[in-house]
Amino acid sequence: MLAVNIDQQLMKRPGKCIQFEYEFTKEGSVPYSANSRPIPVALSNQAREQIQAMLKDGILEESRSACINPITLLVRDRKAVHICIDVRRINKQMVADRTKVMPMSELLQNYGAKYITSLDLNNVFLKVPLEQSSRQWVACQFESNVYQFKKVRMGSRTV
């Protein structure tokens, strides 16, 4: 019998992948810089708190990148603010990564799985570290500071 308090087993903050770092390959050498969309004053404190949390969790770091992607806020359920960066323009300069993950059925056959489980992979992209030279391409500006992501952001071109 398994008698464990599940809340004690689950992490409250994002974990990280330690097996590899992802590296973007970019074509061209012209840095891209764009102004962020205006952030409503009513949401600026929440955005600032989220930036501080991402700095604390090792998702963001301060940057001097010349490539500034626009930042925008997504409000979910009229409560939680989610910081997004618009990487569409820089994605056009990224070389597609054609490495594919093995299909789940093949993985299960190869490793003889006895148990299958389902996990909520909330913010799964934020668990994969970016190689140091790739971080400059996913930078953004909030207030007067420039930050770059240390983890892969959803929306970054990988395929």
Contact between 86 and 94 (Cβ < 8 Å): no
For residue 42 the two structure tokens come to 């009513």
- Tokens 């994002």 — which residue? 14
For the cut 60, the answer to whether the pLDDT of residue 122 exceeds it is: no
Contact between 134 and 24 (Cβ < 8 Å): yes
Residue 141: give its domain's CATH number: 3.10.10.10
User: Does the CA dihedral 29-60-34-142 come out positive or negative?
Assistant: negative
In-domain check, residue 154: no
For the cut 90, the answer to whether the pLDDT of residue 146 exceeds it is: yes
Tell me the pLDDT tens digit for each residue of 45-56.
999 999 999 999
**Radius of gyration of the chain measured on its C-alpha atoms:** 18
Judged by phi (left if over 0) then psi (alpha if -120 to 50, else beta), residue 73 lies in beta
Higher pLDDT: 155 or 112? It is: 112
For the cut 50, the answer to whether the pLDDT of residue 109 exceeds it is: yes
In-domain check, residue 108: yes
For residue 94, name the pLDDT band (cuts at 50, 70, 90).
confident
Q: How far apart are CA 76 and CA 79, in angstroms?
A: 6
Judged by phi (left if over 0) then psi (alpha if -120 to 50, else beta), residue 135 lies in alpha
Tell me the pLDDT tens digit for each residue of 54-89.
999 899 999 999 889 998 888 877 777 888 888 888
pTM of the model: 0.73
In-domain check, residue 5: no
In-domain check, residue 110: yes
In-domain check, residue 96: yes
The per-residue pLDDT for 149 is 92
Q: Which segments within 3-135 are labelled E, that is strand?
A: 60-62, 68-69, 71-76, 80-85
Helix, strand, or coil here: 142?
Answer: strand
The per-residue pLDDT for 49 is 93
In-domain check, residue 1: no
The boundaries of the domain holding residue 51 are 16-149
Q: Worst-scoring range by mean pLDDT, 43-52, 97-106, 126-135, 139-148?
A: 97-106
The per-residue pLDDT for 91 is 81
Per-residue pLDDT, averaged over 147-159, amounts to 74
